[in-house]
Amino acid sequence: MKTSFAIAAIAVLLSCSVWAAPNVIKPHHVEALGSDMNCRTCHTTKGKFQRPDAQTCIDCHGGMADIPTQPNRWDKNPHNSHHYEDLLECTVCHSEHKASKPLCVDCHVVEFPNLK
């Protein structure tokens, strides 16, 4: 256990630079803010990159309750469901470096064509 762990650690450390390489910023952010939207705009903690907490997004966008989504024929409001209301972090559904995936589809028939 301990050995495989150490090996894994070294492998990761060696490939450290690879971490940053594929992290492309999404077009909607680049188009709106240009170079003002750089890695450190969202990754505000010093040192290593971590998944930003919801407050980072909220500082610019406001909370889920302030962002209306389009009504749809499945009556699904991802920003205000009765299960979770606005308790979820933005990154539960919105990703920055990969395709976003709405939590609701785990259990419901629904499509969100506008999800970015």
Partner 1 sequence: MKRREFITRSIGVTAAMTLPFSAKADTSVKHWDREYDLVIVGSGFAGLSAAYSANKAGLKNILVIEKMMAWGGASAICGGIACMPNTPLQKKHGIEDSPELLVKDMLKVGHKFNHLALAETMATQAYTAYDMMIECGVEFKDKLLRLGSHSAPRGHIPVGASGGAIVVPMHKYLLKKGVQFQNRTNVSSILRDKDNGISGVEVQTDFEHTSGEFRNEFSYKSRHGVVIATGGWGSDKQFIKTTMPSYADLRSTAQSGATAGMIKSLLSIGSLPVMLDMYQLGPWGSPDERPAGPGAFFADYAFAEGIAVDPMTGKRFSNELASRRDRSEAQMVVMEQGTKDKPNYPFTFCSEETTTRAEGFHAAYRDGAVFKTNSIAELAEFHGVKNVTALTQSIADWNKIVKGAVDPYNKPLDVRTELKAPFYSFRLSPVLHYCMGGVAITPNAEVIDATTCEPIKGLFAAGEISGGVHGMDRLGGCSSVDGLVFGQIAGRTAANYKANA
Residues that bind ligand HEC (CB under 6 A): 19-20, 23, 25, 28-29, 32-33, 37, 39, 41-43, 49-52, 54, 56-58, 60-61, 63-64, 67, 69-70, 75-79, 81, 83-84, 88, 90-98, 102-104, 106-108, 112-116
Calpha distance 37→96 (Å, rounded): 12
Using only C-alpha atoms, the chain has a radius of gyration, in whole angstroms, of 18
Nearer to partner 1, 13 or 35 (CB): 13
> Contact, 109 vs 74, CB < 8 A?
yes
Residue 97 contact partner, candidates ligand HEC, partner 1, none, CB within 5 to 8 A by sort of partner:
ligand HEC
Choose among 18, 37, 16, 40: nearest CA to 27.
37
